[in-house]
Amino acid sequence: MFKQTILLATLCLSSLSVFAGKESMDIYCSSTESILNVLATKYDEKPMMRLRGDDSKYVIYHNSTTGTWSLVHLGVTQSLSCVIATGTGIDLPRTAKPQTGSV
């Protein structure tokens, strides 16, 4: 299931990059320990939001000083994770309220 999730994410992000005018989008996969170490030591990013699906878990890491963020897919076993998107700046709508439970 993890491979299917990564493949789907890759296809979706590749499609988005075409619309955004980019030629390619890099996805970096490594051990979870290695990725979390780099985010903490090199970018000083800390967990901002956790998103959970049936068989997947995503975490947005954020540095509130520099504004950088990274979207990480944590593997089911948490031995392999992937950084699937990075950027600078997060805009949260003022009226948005987090919803819990099923839709």
CB 61 within 8 A of CB 70: yes
Paired tokens of 7: 């493949």
What is the pTM (predicted TM-score) of this model? 0.66
Of 56, 63, 61, give the one whose Cα is nearest residue 85.
61
Domain boundaries along the sequence of the chain: 2-88
pLDDT at residue number 90: 86
| Per-residue pLDDT, 6 | 42
pLDDT tens across the length of the chain (103 residues): 444 444 434 444 443 333 333 445 689 999 999 999 999 999 999 999 999 887 789 999 999 999 999 999 998 666 899 999 999 998 877 775 666 665 4
Do the Cβ atoms of 7 and 27 come closer than 8 Å? Answer: no
Contact 98, 60 (CB under 8 A): no
pLDDT of residue 15: 35
Q: What confidence score (pLDDT) does residue 53 get?
A: 82
Dump the DSSP string for 20-49.
Answer: TT-S----EEEEHHHHHHHHHHTS--EEEE
Please, which residues have CB within 8 angstroms of residue 50's CB and are 6 or more apart in sequence? 57, 58, 59
The closest alpha carbon to 72, from 64, 60, 62, 55, belongs to 60
